[in-house]
Amino acid sequence: MTEENQHPAPAALASRPLCTVEFEVGGGLIAIGASPFGDRRLGYITGGRFFGPRINGIVLPGGGNWSRGGRLGEVASAGTFDARAVWQTDDGALIYLSYTGRSVIPDDVRATFADPAVPDADSSRYYLRIAPVFETASVEYGWLNGLLAVGVGERTDFGVRHVIHEIL
């Protein structure tokens, strides 16, 4: 290896908790159906809340998740996310949030999602991950504009909960 090809190793990836967000999805999912581009669904955000060590507030109604689903092998479904929402902090600042992500849900777990009488499946039995980015005009929360985050999600009886970590 020549000297010009030697580069220091990149820093290890690190994170710290940012917040937990609970999206309320009223009316369930609107199934648009299977098009040539996949099985499209829409989940309308009717409200919610977020809370963490540096940021707290409510999720305003009106956002949504335009997801697409398909199959991953013979025993699981896979999905993508295309979500947008507006958060309002406890002190009145507005934050625009968008995220993409992936889900992998075994068929036996998906069957429990469809039956409201069945308790929610153990979240360790399925994969739900998001990559949110934030945008705000707030000086106080301007640090969010330069932040990349990842989240681990779980289905709830009101919608979905994501535990979000900022990547350092």
Write out the two tokens for 56.
């707290």
Using CA atoms in the order 115, 118, 119, 124, what is the torsion angle rounded to 10 degrees?
-70
pLDDT digit string, tens, across residues 142-153: 999 999 999 999
SS3 136: coil
CATH classification (class only), 11-167:
mainly beta
- Measure Cα distances from 158 to 9, 97, 99, 113 in Å: 44, 20, 19, 12
Q: What is the pTM of this model?
A: 0.88
Cα–Cα separations (whole angstroms), residue 75 to 37, 68, 71, 106: 21, 18, 8, 6
Q: Rounded mean pLDDT of 117-123?
A: 79
Q: What is d(CA 28, CA 38) in angstroms, rounded to the nearest whole number?
A: 19
Q: Are 87 and 50 in contact (CB under 8 A)?
A: yes
User: Which run of H or E residues covers position 112?
Assistant: helix 107-113
What are the sequence ranges of the domains in the chain?
11-167
Query: pLDDT tens, 29-80?
Result: 888 998 888 899 999 999 999 999 999 999 999 999 999 999 999 999 999 9
Contacts of 19 (CB under 8 A, 6+ apart): 50, 51, 52, 53, 54, 55, 56, 164
Taking 70 as the threshold, does the pLDDT of residue 1 lie above it?
Answer: no
Q: Is 119 helix (H, G, I), strand (E, B) or coil?
A: coil
Distance in angstroms (rounded) separating the CA atoms of residues 41 and 168? 33
Taking 60 as the threshold, does the pLDDT of residue 2 lie above it?
no
What is the C-alpha separation between 84 and 96, in angstroms, rounded?
Answer: 7
Bridge partners (DSSP) listed for residue 80: 68, 102
